[in-house]
Amino acid sequence: MGDRLSVRAVLSRARTFAAARPAKQKAGAAAAGVLLASAPFGGLAAAPEPPPQQLLLGQPMTVGPFEVAIDKVVELPDLSPAITPEPTQRVVVVDAVVTLTGDRPEYAVTLTNNLRVTGGGVKTTERPSLYVVDDATRMSVFNPGVSYRLAIAFVTDGPWQGETATVSANQVVFREEDRGTLNPNAWVGLDEIQWQGSLPLERRS
């Protein structure tokens, strides 16, 4: 009963307001009245966020200025000589080809800040590190137009449980100007997952 009275009152005020306005504004005022009247029933509810795009093995995904194509996900006891974790820990490696598609060098942190591996009943203990597969060199800066075969390495607090791992990537946008910081013209990660997929996990000893 209370909702009906509220809706009736809103519509009455909208009609009164519209009648007093110029003809060009009447249609807008009426539409606003309908929107307000529908508010108790969800008329003003925010649009739902679109679901993440599905991530598949071998399918390139865009993470800001990077194109990333994942070949496989592997659990290892270590990644020597690059990483030697504690005996109870494991290393989960996302084996991928990463290409910087922009026209200027980019720091690796732009990528590592926005990639996650979850599931398996474990926690990742730190942000991933990047290593060149051929020689285990740690990757810190990407050159434009160059493709790198990389081990994107996550250290976990224990053995992975299950046969799949969920890999996700946040949306990364280019900020041309930002008066509030000293870092304009930069790629910035948003707290929104753009890509996500449940990928098979290989195990090696």
What's the predicted TM-score (pTM) here? 0.75
Measured in whole angstroms, the distance separating CA 139 from the mean position of its chain's CA atoms is 22
Give CA angle at 169 (55, 100), nearest 5°: 95
Cβ atoms of 105 and 142 within 8 Å: the answer is yes
Residue 18 has pLDDT above 90, yes or no: no
Summarised one tens digit per residue, pLDDT across range 147-160 is 999 999 999 999 99
Measured in whole angstroms, the distance separating CA 141 from the mean position of its chain's CA atoms is 21
The interaxial angle of helices 2-19 and 23-37, nearest 10 deg, is 170
Ramachandran quadrant class, 121 (left: phi over 0; alpha: psi -120 to 50; beta: rest): left
Summarised one tens digit per residue, pLDDT across range 48-107 is 778 999 999 999 999 999 999 999 999 999 999 999 999 999 999 999 999 999 899 999
Neighbouring-strand partners of residue 62: 67
> What is the average pLDDT across 175-185?
70
Q: What are phi and psi of 163, to 5 degrees?
A: -110, 5
